[in-house]
Amino acid sequence: MNKASIAVLAVPLLLAACIAAEKENTECDIESVSLHLDSPTNFFYHEYDTMQAVISTETSVVFTIRSYVDINTVPTTLRVTKGAIVYLVAEDGTKTPFLNGSPVDFSDEAVRLFHVVSQDGAFSRDYKISIVHDKPSDGNLSFDYESYHLDSSGKFYVWDGPDFFNDGTWKNGNPGFKICKSSALPMDYPTTPAVGAGPDGSNCVKLETCDTGPFGRMVNMRLASGSMFNGIFDVSNALTNPLKATLLGSPFTHKPMQLRVWLRYERGSVFQDRNGAVVNDVLDEPDVYVVFYRNEDALGNKIVLDGNDVLTNPNIVGLGRLPHHYNPDGSDQLSNNPIHGVTDQWQEFTIPIVYTEEVDATILENKGYSINFGSASSWQGAFFIGAVGSKLYMDNMRLFCE
């Protein structure tokens, strides 16, 4: 063996010998919460409702049970970061170590506090877990986008939605934009309030396709479309699998028939592909749609649409969307003569919801269908394709049900 090859072997061996002892974990997340019930569907609408995965940005976990049942103590299991210690916090603030599987008193919609301390003891997070009764929602809904506030980080705006939405709020891609553009002010985000800009002089919401800057280019996500939807934005997937970051829809007990919404559009002039190259002869288009889908498969598994299949999943039973051109295979067709009809003047649009399958009344009553409201300033924005500067103004959305 010559000296060079000895040296080649020696360097990694020397480095390996230098690996220091592993430090204790610093993370302290509750990753999921499971409730143990003998007959879950007596209390919940779906069997899968007894387990909730907790995304890293959430610290509040709310289970919803049928309006007419009561629940007392429930054996509860929390999956936490390896090595983290969980304490149940009593009302007087005293903390007692929590053992998985111990019963927790969730009666009277009590909010239980859990304090999770990392393995190294340096970090902690506080979680709230509760079980609430389902509140029947109205079928006919109207959204005026008047109620909004800054999120907990103070970086961007969030809008209040009806109670049956996850967290009772509208979601958008702003948390993803925050990763790329840390310097952005709340009004620089893709989804912002437009004060006094509505058709009636009230506030409306503005969706704008924004450049994501140097970090966006680095991860090949060069633009962010303004968006509004109901469901969950799981920021953990925002860089890896952004279409999976949007978990779309909320269980809904009414059959939607028609969406009416006021819209105004200012199109960005330069259409670009994912690599940022200019595409000539293509005009950007806005998108507004309502999707109604079966949220459980034949085996009882939970179905949640995401950015990949929100308009194509076979579980979709009803769909209403602004008009677009489509290819013969059904995929979206980019074009230079859009037919959506949205102009730079406010107009009210009526979008009928077309059913391809019968809606089962019993399943409907038992929250077996979910509704998703989607909108975007660039209809291909989920694929990071569109025109920077496209703006969709939206106000007074109304849903009419059967």
Number of shown-chain residues binding other proteins (CB under 8 A): 45
Site for other proteins in 208-227 (CB under 8 A): 213-215, 218-220
Select from 1, 15, 277, 299 the one that contacts other proteins (CB under 8 A). 15
Would you count residue 8 as binding other proteins (CB under 8 A)?
A: yes
Would you count residue 152 as binding other proteins (CB under 8 A)?
A: no
Locate 27 and state its tokens: 């993370």
Task: Kindly indicate which of the ranges 161-169, 239-247, 253-261, 298-306 contains the residues binding other proteins, using the contact rule CB under 8 A.
Answer: 239-247
Q: Which is nearer to other proteins, 173 or 256 (CB)?
A: 173
Site for other proteins in 51-70 (CB under 8 A): 56-57
Select from 238, 290, 305, 382 the one that contacts other proteins (CB under 8 A). 238
Shortest spacing between CB 118 and other proteins, in angstroms? 7
Shortest spacing between CB 175 and other proteins, in angstroms? 7
Would you count residue 258 as binding other proteins (CB under 8 A)?
A: no
Shortest spacing between CB 95 and other proteins, in angstroms? 18
Would you count residue 308 as binding other proteins (CB under 8 A)?
A: no
Q: Which is nearer to other proteins, 151 or 273 (CB)?
A: 151
Site for other proteins in 100-139 (CB under 8 A): 118, 123-125
Would you count residue 154 as binding other proteins (CB under 8 A)?
A: no
Q: Rounded to an integer, what distance in angstroms lies between the CA atom of residue 77 and that of residue 32?
A: 8
Shortest spacing between CB 158 and other proteins, in angstroms? 15
Select from 240, 327, 336, 337 the one that contacts other proteins (CB under 8 A). 240
Q: How many angstroms separate the Cα of 134 from the Cα of each of 30, 65, 215, 346, 394? A: 24, 6, 42, 37, 30
Q: Is-contact 194 393, C-beta < 8 A?
A: yes
Select from 1, 17, 298, 299 the one that contacts other proteins (CB under 8 A). 17
Shortest spacing between CB 121 and other proteins, in angstroms? 12
Select from 227, 237, 272, 375 the one that contacts other proteins (CB under 8 A). 237
Q: Rounded to an integer, what distance in angstroms lies between the CA atom of residue 323 and that of residue 225?
A: 19
Q: Rounded to an integer, what distance in angstroms lies between the CA atom of residue 299 and that of residue 83?
A: 35
Site for other proteins in 155-184 (CB under 8 A): 175, 179-183
Task: Kindly indicate which of the ranges 72-80, 90-98, 197-205, 233-241 contains the residues binding other proteins, using the contact rule CB under 8 A.
Answer: 233-241
Q: Which is nearer to other proteins, 34 or 59 (CB)?
A: 59
Shortest spacing between CB 172 and other proteins, in angstroms? 15
Shortest spacing between CB 182 and other proteins, in angstroms? 5
Cα angle value 75/76/77 (rounded, 5°): 130
Q: Which is nearer to other proteins, 20 or 299 (CB)?
A: 20
Select from 72, 102, 241, 301 the one that contacts other proteins (CB under 8 A). 241
Q: Rounded to an integer, what distance in angstroms lies between the CA atom of residue 103 and that of residue 113?
A: 14
Q: Which residues contact 94 (CB under 8 A, 6 or more apart)?
A: none
Binding site residues, other proteins, CB under 8 A = 3-4, 7-8, 11-12, 14-23, 26-29, 56-57, 118, 123-125, 175, 179-183, 213-215, 218-220, 235-241
